[in-house]
């Protein structure tokens, strides 16, 4: 019976190559590529000089092919992409403008409604932590009651 290995890439059971000590991959092209990829990943993580060489090569490659030039060329040849982006950005800007409506509750700007024992007001809050008032109901909107322990204005 010939000794076999189970390829860790494709899972195939194949006869072991007697020339290899720790064979983990079969000879299929995809599995050989996977083995190479795995080796490169390990070398990149562990070997400083390998990583430096790799990064240097990458920097040279990027210098020869500036990203902004590619982007500019792409935008010139794809006007529908440019228009879509423009529209989406307009939508985002409008959304942002709406979100910039008063977020922080300022006690000074509230017109409080005093009653016999408590003072209350209905306000809208974005975040609970921005509110120095006691929140009674809800998260986005609710009835707040001035806390007794805070100074009055």
Residues that bind Zn ion (CB under 5 A): 7, 9-10, 26, 28, 31
Closer by beta carbon to Zn ion, 31 or else 123: 31
- For 123, 124, 125, 137, the CA distances from 143, given in Å and listed in that order, are 7, 9, 10, 6
Min CB(86)–Zn ion separation in Å: 48
On whether the CB atoms of residues 25 and 35 are closer than 8 A, the answer is yes
C-alpha angle 147/151/153, rounded to 5°? 105
Helix H segments across the chain? Answer: 29-46, 48-64, 67-77, 79-99
Min CB(44)–Zn ion separation in Å: 23
Rg of the chain's alpha carbons, rounded to an integer?
Answer: 32
Three-class DSSP category at 15:
strand
Min CB(14)–Zn ion separation in Å: 7
Closer by beta carbon to Zn ion, 28 or else 110: 28
**At 147, phi and psi to the nearest 5?**
-80, 140
Closer by beta carbon to Zn ion, 35 or else 110: 35
Closer by beta carbon to Zn ion, 16 or else 62: 16
Close Cβ partners of 94 (under 8 Å, ≥ 6 residues apart): none
Min CB(30)–Zn ion separation in Å: 7
Min CB(43)–Zn ion separation in Å: 21
Closer by beta carbon to Zn ion, 30 or else 59: 30
């Amino acid at each position: 019976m010939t000794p076999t290995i189970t390829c860790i890439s494709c899972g195939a059971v194949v006869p072991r190559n007697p020339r290899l000590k720790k064979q983990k991959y079969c000879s299929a092209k995809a599995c050989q590529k996977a083995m190479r990829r795995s080796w490169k990943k390990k070398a990149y993580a562990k070997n400083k000089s390998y990583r430096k060489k790799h990064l240097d090569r990458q920097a040279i490659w990027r210098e020869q092919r500036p990203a902004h030039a590619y982007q500019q060329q792409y935008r010139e040849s794809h006007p529908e992409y440019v228009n879509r982006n423009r529209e989406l950005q307009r939508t985002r800007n409008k959304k942002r403008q709406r979100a910039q409506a008063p977020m922080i509750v300022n006690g000074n700007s509230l017109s409080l409604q005093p009653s016999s024992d408590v003072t209350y007001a209905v306000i809208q809050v974005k975040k609970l932590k921005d509110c120095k008032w006691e929140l009674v109901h809800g998260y986005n909107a609710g009835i707040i009651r001035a806390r007794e322990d805070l100074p009055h204005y």
